[in-house]
Copies of this chain bind each other. A is one copy, B any other.
């Protein structure tokens, strides 16, 4: 386990490649190593020097993004802050990250991946947040914290998909987070309406 010392430019190259990979794969998930390298402004062989295989590159990308997402959620202190406040904060933070790392956060990973473990950790904290919300009487009767989280995830996904489809229009994370949480809690219907 000898840690090879890296020169400064080397670390920068890795960053550049990861960012370019995200950009490229987000637009076109089947993009080749060639295209990714071109987007990063480096030769294809250089990419292979840093990431032995395509799979390794994507794994590194997913791990990097998962770390960012985990930090973004933690920044909302979901365990201690009042549930609704934490929910809003975590949403705004997560949206910003997911918008920048759309591909990396959705990438299909090989089982046993490190990124998968981190994502599982996020889901866990998210579930606990909704449980706290439920305990505080914030969830309608009949709604489990698990279902709430699934709906929550679905809304985040939808919002990011839409934002990615319109890269020209500006994205106000706070406004979108507000609308998202509002919809999550109250839906789109008039309070009285029912089947």
Contacts and interface: CB of A to CB of B under 8 A. Distances in A.
Interface in A115-153: 137-140, 143, 147-148, 150-151, 153
7 contacts: A138-B193, A140-B187, A140-B190, A157-B158, A181-B195, A183-B187, A184-B189
Contacts of A183: 143, 147, 151, 187
Number of this chain's copies in the assembly equals 2
A107 interface: no
Interface residues of A, number: 33
A147 B188 contact: yes
A148 B183 CA distance: 9
B151 A155 contact: yes
A138 B190 contact: yes
Contacts of A143: 183, 188
A182 B195 contact: yes
A162 interface: yes
A87 to B, nearest CB: 9
Contact of A189 (B139, B158, B178, B189): B139
B189 A193 contact: no
A187 B190 contact: no
A12 interface: no
A185 B189 contact: yes
Contacts of A158: 150-151, 153-154, 157
B138 A162 contact: no
B191 A191 contact: yes
A190 B155 contact: no
Nearest to A194: B185
